[in-house]
Amino acid sequence: MDLKTLIVSIEDRVAIITLNRPRHLNALNLELIEELDQALTAVEQDGQVGALIITGQEEFFAVGADLKEVEQLHNPLAAHDFVTRVNRVFNRLENFPRPVIAAISGLALGGGCELALCCDLRIAAEGARFGQPEIKLGLIPGAGGTQRLPRLVGQGRAKELLFFGNPIEAEEALRIGLVNRVVPAESLLAEARKMARQLLERPPLALRMTKLAVNQGGNTDLQTALALEARCFEFLFSTEDQKEGLKAFREKRTPAFKGR
């Protein structure tokens, strides 16, 4: 891939997508969004990859949408086209068939925070800051902030962040459930890799069914969600990994999952 706004690397079955617009603090423009779509396709097609990490630079994960492009949205039709293109890729990331970890250092604001919300797990470096400042520009988040954030931290805390637009520190983000862990900045990527390696030890199909049940079930009523969970549970009894897991438990050994 010939990418200008991202760096993609794969090592030991873990893919890392690094946002790479440092002169613009990793502001999200449509070029980056389209390249992220390309990168997700490449990672998904690599059958050896078992987990994905998305990260940025030390001082900024991403500061939001590129305001130069936002200023060119002169009418609702143009705004519709813009958010539709962004949301298509963000939705794809949210439902990516492998676990996705956001490793966040520095600023994660606006669309940068929304990008992190699309990931399954979030690890923050000490000193990272999160926020949805769109209200201060006479706008609201357009890439999931008003929907994913309340589902993660509750409506009350989400409304406070959305109404005032003020950022919060990593420790506060951890306290309210916005991030899973806070680690020293110098060990951020190492901790993300460690988490990814632990996920590689889990059965891939069971991980995929877990993610499907949580993501889809959270968007429907309880009885429909329970039915979905049951179907995912039942499906796994057709897999070799399920049989290997029980056999390894009986034999008191580490299971060798193969994703089949």
Is 240 among the residues known to form the active site? no
Cα–Cα distance list, 89 to 34, 61, 144 (Å): 8, 18, 12
Residue in 44, 114, 126, 186 annotated catalytic = 114
CA 28, distance to chain mean position in Å, is 15
Structure token digits, residue 41: 């396709």
**Would you say 54 and 115 are in contact if contact means Cβ atoms under 8 Å apart?**
yes
CA distance 150 to 129: 18
Residue in 69, 71, 126, 134 annotated catalytic = 134
The set of residues, in sequence order, having a beta carbon less than 8 Å from that of 222 and lying 6+ positions away, is none
Residue whose pair of structure tokens reads 């994905």 in the numeric block: 52
CA distance 223 to 83: 32
**Eight-state DSSP code of residue 65:** B
Residue 23's SS3 state is helix
Is 244 among the residues known to form the active site? no
Strands 60-62 and 107-109, sheet pairing: parallel
Q: Which are the catalytic amino acids?
A: 114, 134
